[in-house]
Structure 1
Amino acid sequence: MKTAPTQTPSCCKADSLLTKEQMTERIISAKVKKQLTWTALAEQVGVDEVWLASACLGMNSMKHDLAEKLCAVLELPAEVLTALTVFPHKRWSFEIPQDPLIYRLYEIVGVYGETLKEVIHEKFGDGIMSAIDFSMTVGKEENPAGDRVVITLNGKFLPYKSW
Structure 2
Amino acid sequence: MKPFVSKQEAAQQVRVARHRAGMSWAQIAEQLGVDKEWSTAALLGSHPMTAEQAHVVQELLDLDDSTAEALQMQPYRTAITEDVVSDPTVYRFHEALMVYGPAIKELIHEEFGDGIMSAINFQMSVRRREHPGGDRVVVTFDGKFLDYQW
TM-score bucket (shorter structure): over 0.9
Gaps of 5+ in 1: 1-13
1:59 matched to 2:49: no
CA distance in 2, matches of 1:15, 1:68: 17
Partner of 1:24: 11
Q: CA RMSD, aligned part only?
A: 1.5
Bigger Cα displacement from structure 2, 90-99 vs 78-87: 90-99
Partner of 1:130: 118
Cα gap change, 1:94 to 1:75, in 2 (>3 Å):
closer
Q: Which amino acid aligns with 2:90?
A: I
Match for residue 129 of structure 2 among 119, 141, 154: 141
Partner of 2:61: 74
Please report the TM-score for the alignment, with normalisation by the length of structure 1: 0.86
Partner of 2:99: 111
SS of 2:93 mapped into structure 1: helix
Please report the TM-score for the alignment, with normalisation by the length of structure 2: 0.93
SS of 2:85 mapped into structure 1: coil
After TM superposition, give the deviation of residue 109 of structure 1 in Å.
0.4
TM alignment of 1:36-55, pairs within 5 A: 36-55=23-42
CA distance in 2, matches of 1:78, 1:99: 30
Gaps of 5+ in 2: none
SS of 1:133 mapped into structure 2: strand
After TM superposition, give the deviation of residue 93 of structure 1 in Å.
3.7
After TM superposition, give the deviation of residue 92 of structure 1 in Å.
2.4
Bigger Cα displacement from structure 2, 71-80 vs 101-110: 71-80
Hey, which of these two has a bigger chunk of helix by percent?
2
Identity over aligned residues, as a percent? 40
